[in-house]
Structure formats: C-alpha cells, structure tokens
Chains A and B, each alone.
With several copies, the nearest count.
Chain A
Amino acid sequence: MSVSTHPSGRGGRFVRRIAGKIAGAEVVSGDIWDAIQLARHQDRPYPLDYIARLMPDFEEIHGDRAAGDDPAIVAGIGRYHGAPLAIIGQQKGRDAQDRAYRNFGMPSPEGYRKGMRLMELCDRLQIPLVTLIDTPGAFPGAQAEEHGQGGAIARSMMMMLRLSVPTVAVVIGEGSSGGALALGVADRVVMLENATYSVISPEGASAILWRDAAKAKLAAAAFKPIAANCYRWGIADAVVPEPEGGAHTSHDEAARFLDGYLLRTIRELQAIPRVDRNRQRHERFRRLGAQREA
C-alpha cells in the first residue's frame, strides 16, 4: 500500500487517487458534509478495532492512579511487528449502552492522565507511541472541570512534546477541539481519508457563530475540516487511504492501510537521532499558523 506524504511528496497510487480531491475539495461543500458523516459513521472502526487487527497481543492498562478509569480513553501496549508499541486512543461506543459507557468518546481528565501514565512508561522503556484520535471533544462536565480538564489537556500536550521516543498521531474519525489535540502533539500527524480535524464540532460552531443549532452544514462548509485540506494547511503530514466507500465498509482493509503507514513511519522516525527528532517535533508545531505583517 502507499500513502500520500507531506512535504516529501512520497507515495504511490493513493496520492494519484486522492490528488483530485486535494486540489478541489475546498469548493465542494457537499463533499465536506459527506466526509463528516463518514468520519462519524457508527460502523467506523474505533481504536479497539484497529488494535485487534494490528496487535493481537495487546494489554490494556486502566486507571490514572488518582481518581478513576476513563473508558473514553483506551491505552495499552502491544506487540507490533516484533517490537513493543504503545497506543492511546479515544474510544466511542457502537451501541447505545456502549456509547454511554464510553461517554461518546469524550474524555475526562482521568483519561488524559491514564494516557500520561502510559507516556511515562514509553519514555522509560523506550517504546514508540501511536495515538488514535476520534472525539467530539473533551467532556464538558462539572466534575471534569473540577478535576482539571484544562490542565490535563495542556499537560498531555507537553508530555507528548517531550517524549524521547517516536510518536505518531492518527486522526481516525473526528478530531475536535483541544480534547483531540491533547493526543496530537506527535512527530507525525496523519489523517485517514475521511477523517476530520477541527477547532470545534460543526454543531458547536453552529450554535455559537450562527446562533442556531441547525446550521451545522453551513459551519462544516466554513471550516472545511477534511483530510485533504488539513494536508494542504500542513496540519496533516499524510493522508492514509480508506477502503472505497469508507473505513466502515471493511475494518480489515482499513487496518491494513493504517498498518502500512505506521510500520514505515515508525521505522523512519527510529532512524532519526533523538535530539534531531525532538527538535523537528518542536519546529513542526512552532511554525503552524497563518498571519500577515502590518
């Protein structure tokens, strides 16, 4: 398999396949809404679906050692192509009961702190880290606030930034707000073909900016948060293909595509001396933004 990469421009048939999309996506707002629906498709693979396929030998860890265990975040270590690999992912539920259990993929501070526990382990035992991002945002709850939701997100970013091991962040579904970015400060940030990455969900933006909860489609068209755009903006380093029709049509194929990208990328990153890798990670996030001079 092949992927489109940025900025080195490597990649094979997929780059050709989505080249048209990357060039023209910005003007086709219907495509954007379709992508958002695909990114949220209830049959779309979630972290545990990928983990089951990428790492049959996987051990989930639980708990932040302070206040509880957050089922909206799964974290653990597995055997990946003959070496240990750590994964932290936001996990939505598929049926009603599971969705409630997973809090619709909205993490609490306990979840981010569980993730930080695993990051600390990665640093010490020299295990690369992959994060799988898929959340409408961090949980807006009273207890989450009082347990330090803001600080947990900030510290998670800082810890990821400082990790001495290779890190890859993959937006596999919807990546919304700081709740997503908390797991996104990696050496490589990559998005699945139909994933979205945005400052806020279209519904949230609709209510705030249009003062009308029903204007989500308008908001989506304004944000244009699809993978092709994020790639052009430099937010995503690569776009990983999904099966025709979307990742939900074949979890196996979606996992194979991701596998190909991850394996190559982790090896690439391992070949970079740590000091250089960390400097590049700093520079990657230091330069993002768009401003003009007066």
Chain B
Amino acid sequence: MSRHQISVSIDRLRGKRADAGPTRRMPGDDRSCPKCESHFRADEMERNCYVCAVCGYHFPMTARQRLDHLSGGAGWEEIGGELRAADPLRFIDLQPYTERVQAAEAKGATEAIIAASLEIEGRPCVVAAMDFAFLGGSMGSVVGERFARAAEVAVAQNVPLISITSSGGARMQEGVLALMQMAKSIVALDELAQAGLPFLMVLAHPTTGGVWASFASLGDVTYAEPGALIAFSGPRVIEQTTREKLPADFGLAERQYDHGHVDAVVDRRDLPRRLAHLMMILEQPPRDEAQSLASQLAQNGTERAARMAQALPSLTRRFRGQSESSSAGEVSGS
C-alpha cells in the first residue's frame, strides 16, 4: 500500500534509458537536469513535457507551454491577454519596476499568468497557468485580474476552472495593490462556488506566499507536481526568523501530502489525463433547465437564482445541472 501516489518516470523503469539522451552536464543550460545532470535535446524536452526522462525531475515550464501541453496542441483562446502591468506606485528598488516589466515582457511573455479557454482531452474548461519566469511568477494586479476574469469566463461557459501555480508570492513592486489581488482571487472563487462549478488546483514549483495563501490552497481537489515547494513562508525565512533547522524536504509536495495539504502528487506527464478524468467524474448529467431553475429558486431564493435567471439562455449548464429533481411547487410549499 503505497503512501504516496506518485507516478515517477515510468519510462526509465521500463528500460527506456536510451531515450534519455547523453548524460553530459552542460552548466547553465536549461536542458541539463540539475538533479542527475542528464542533458536533453529541445525536442526531447518538449516530448517529455519538460520532465527529466532519467530521474523524473520536473523542469520549469512557461505558461504557454502549460496551455499547449494541457490542450494537447489543439490551441487555446486567451482571456484578458490585453492586460499589462501598470506602475501605480512609481516603484523603484535597485531598478525601476517599469524596467523590470519591460525586460520580462521582452522575453516574450505578457505577464506571470495566462488564462485561456481550452479543452483537455475533449473536456472544455478554463485554465489559468502561472509562469515563474515572469518576475518570479509574482501576483500583481494583472495576475489577479486575469485570474478573476478566468473564473468569470468559467461561470459564463459553465465549465470547471483549473489553475497551475508557480509563484514567489505577491508582487512587491505594486505594494498593497498587489496584496489585494489575494482578496480579488477569493471573490472570483466565491462566484465560481455559487455557480456550483469545480476548482481544480495544480501546485507547481514553487507555490509560495500570497498565492499559496489565497486561491492556490482552495482547490476542490489539489494536485502537486513532484518536488514542488509549497509554503507560505519559505524555508530560508523560517530558518532566519526562528533559528529552527528544517529538514531537507521541508515544504516539498511529498511532505505536504503527508501533512494533509495535497490530495495527490502527480507526475506532470499524467496531468492532462488526471484532470480530464476528474472533470469527467464531476460533470453533472444534463437536466431540464426550467426544472433546475425552479430547484435553485427553492433552495436559495435570492441572488444566486436571480443571477442564474439572467444568465440562463446563454448557458449550456453542463456543470450546473442539479442532482435534484424537485418541482416548482417547492417554492410556495415551503
């Protein structure tokens, strides 16, 4: 009975070592495994979802790579892609914030999160994927706004919301406005919850600070990638503050599973299948819409039903079908 549900590098177990390519270490090369020093060609990396084929180490991925991977290359429709970072505090530390943003944008990404509508193995959903390469995946106003819009599109399209996080926390250069994005993400998740739609989380390395202390820890089901650091305060801060000596695996996904904070540690190569499977399980069977609305009215009587009534004509209700079959008579009969 295995305690950890980790699927590690089955390729290697099956003797596919040949697939792993030469094992020369090439320093500074982002295709060299920092764990076992194997080196891979770019096409090998992409084919293996940026997982080391030898030791299972999970390399960082950009948000675009995430969306390409989950959609199986079938494309995705971006949400809030026009949003860009502002500089509300005219913030300067060792470098002006605007310059940091320009430098990050120059590398091709538009922000530390990309949200998109897409299908994972044929199941429609909205995905908000973070990108550690963009200013440490920090959550500023654009991250909060894109996340909120992602949730709103999920409600409008009546599909689950999935998020993959990789973030050092709040974006300090936007000051307290960055902090407020935590609350904004909570508001968005409450709208999703009121619509009865699932929120599935994937915690990638690292998920820390304000991201972990807001939407990332509120998944209905929460997966983590192997070896991902998951923490509110990082190990270094804790050691400096409390002078505690922490174990080597402190805050890592496998240990967070032991402490009850993660439902499963899932190999990245299994993510599309696992997420599609979860969505399949959670999908409500189709129901008669009027009956469903009557049931909703009877249950809550207030804002939720009113919002539903407005939104009704445009929705497919795939996920909002009630498992109830109560009649309209319930409204007056109670």
- Verify whether A and B have any Cβ pair under 8 Å: yes
Interchain nearest-CB distance for B148 vs A (Å): 6
Instruction: List the B side residues contacting A66 at CB < 8 Å.
Output: 260
B11 at the interface (CB under 8 A from A): no
Q: Chain B residue with minimal CB distance to A200?
A: B172
Q: Contact string, A108-122, partner B, CB cutoff 8 A, digits 1/0?
A: 001000100000010
Contacting pair A153 B213 (CB below 8 A): yes
Task: Tell me if B176 and A164 are in contact (CB < 8 A).
Answer: no
Which of A79, A149, A199 is the one whose CB lies under 8 Å from B170?
A199
A268 CB to closest chain B CB (Å) equals: 10
Residues 78-97 of B, flagged 1 when their CB comes within 8 A of A and 0 if not, give 00011111101101111000
**A245 within 8 A of partner (CB):** no
Selected from B232, B262, B326, the residue in CB contact (under 8 A) with A145 is B232
Q: How far is the CB of A126 from chain B (nearest CB, A)?
A: 5
Chain A residues within 8 Å of B183, by CB: 157, 161, 181, 184-185, 285, 288
Residues in A neighbouring B148, C-beta threshold 8 A? 286
Q: How far is the CB of A229 from chain B (nearest CB, A)?
A: 8
State in angstroms the CA–CA spacing of A82 and B5 once bound together. 26
Q: In whole angstroms, how far apart are the Cα atoms of A63 and B316 in the complex?
A: 34
A22 at the interface (CB under 8 A from B): no
Cα A182 to Cα B182 with chains together (Å): 9
Query: Is A65 touching B187 in the complex (CB atoms < 8 A)?
Result: no
Q: Which residues of A contact B244 (CB under 8 A)?
A: 141-142
Q: How far is the CA of A146 from the CA of B250 in the complex (A)?
A: 9
Q: Is A8 an interface residue (CB 8 A)?
A: no
Flag B196-218 by CB within 8 Å of A: 1 or 0 each.
Answer: 11100000000001101111111
Query: Which B residues between 75 and 121 are near A, CB-CB below 8 angstroms?
Result: 81-86, 88-89, 91-94, 110
Contact of B218 among A64, A155, A205 (CB under 8 A): A155
Please give the distance in Å from A228's CB to the nearest CB on chain B: 13
Instruction: Report if A69-B260 is in contact (Cβ < 8 Å); known contacts: A270-B323, A271-B325.
Output: yes
| B contact residues around A219 at 8 Å (CB) | 93
List residues of chain B with CB within 8 A of the CB of A272.
326
| Contacting residues, chain A, for B18 (C-beta < 8 A) | none
Q: How many residues on chain A are close to B (CB under 8 Å)?
A: 97
Contact of A230 among B176, B216, B251, B263 (CB under 8 A): B176
Q: Evaluate whether A286 and B184 lie within 8 angstroms (CB atoms) in the complex, with A140-B233, A145-B251 already known.
A: yes
A288 and B180 in contact, given A62-B257, A124-B196, A128-B323 (Cβ under 8 angstroms): yes
Judge if A292 is at the interface, Cβ distance under 8 Å.
Answer: yes
Nearest-CB distance from A260 to chain B (Å)?
19
Chain B residues near A164 (CB-CB < 8 A): 299
- B241: A residues at CB distance < 8 A: 140-141
Q: Confirm or deny: A10 has a beta carbon within 8 angstroms of a beta carbon on chain B.
A: no
Q: Which residues of A contact B298 (CB under 8 A)?
A: 273-275
Which of A11-19, A34-42, A53-61, A249-257 binds B? A53-61
> Once bound together, how far apart are the Cα atoms of A97 and B326, in whole Å?
47
Q: With the chains together, A69 CA to B5 CA distance in Å?
A: 13
Instruction: Enumerate chain A residues within 8 angstroms of B193, measured Cβ to Cβ.
Output: 124
Closest to B220 in A: A121
Residue B277, interface by CB 8 Å: yes
Q: What residue of chain B has the Cβ atom nearest to residue A225's Cβ?
A: B176
Query: When the two chains form their complex, are residues B282 and A125 in contact, meaning their CB atoms are under 8 A apart?
Result: yes
Q: Which listed segment binds A: B26-34, B46-54, B124-132, B138-146?
A: B138-146
Show 5 A/B contacts (Cβ-Cβ < 8 Å), sorted by A.
Answer: A69-B257, A93-B1, A141-B238, A270-B325, A273-B330
Interface pairs A-B: 5 shortest CB-CB = A63-B260, A140-B233, A289-B141, A273-B326, A290-B88
Q: A200-B172, A233-B176, A290-B177 are in contact. List 19 more A-B contacts (CB 8 A).
A: A93-B1, A121-B220, A128-B323, A140-B238, A140-B241, A142-B250, A148-B260, A149-B233, A161-B186, A181-B183, A223-B89, A224-B175, A225-B175, A275-B303, A282-B190, A288-B180, A289-B145, A291-B140, A291-B142
Q: Which residues of B contact A (CB under 8 A)?
A: 1, 3, 5, 81-86, 88-89, 91-94, 110, 140-142, 144-145, 148, 170-184, 186-191, 193, 196-198, 209-210, 212-218, 220-221, 230-233, 237-238, 241-242, 244, 246, 250-251, 257-264, 277-278, 280-285, 295, 298-299, 302-303, 322-327, 329-330, 333-334
Residues of A with Cβ closer than 8 Å to B?
57-69, 71, 77-79, 82-84, 93, 97-98, 101, 110, 114, 121, 124-128, 138, 140-142, 144-146, 148-151, 153-155, 157-158, 161-162, 164-166, 177-178, 180-182, 184-185, 197-200, 205, 208-211, 218-219, 222-225, 230, 233, 235, 270-276, 278-279, 282, 285-286, 288-294
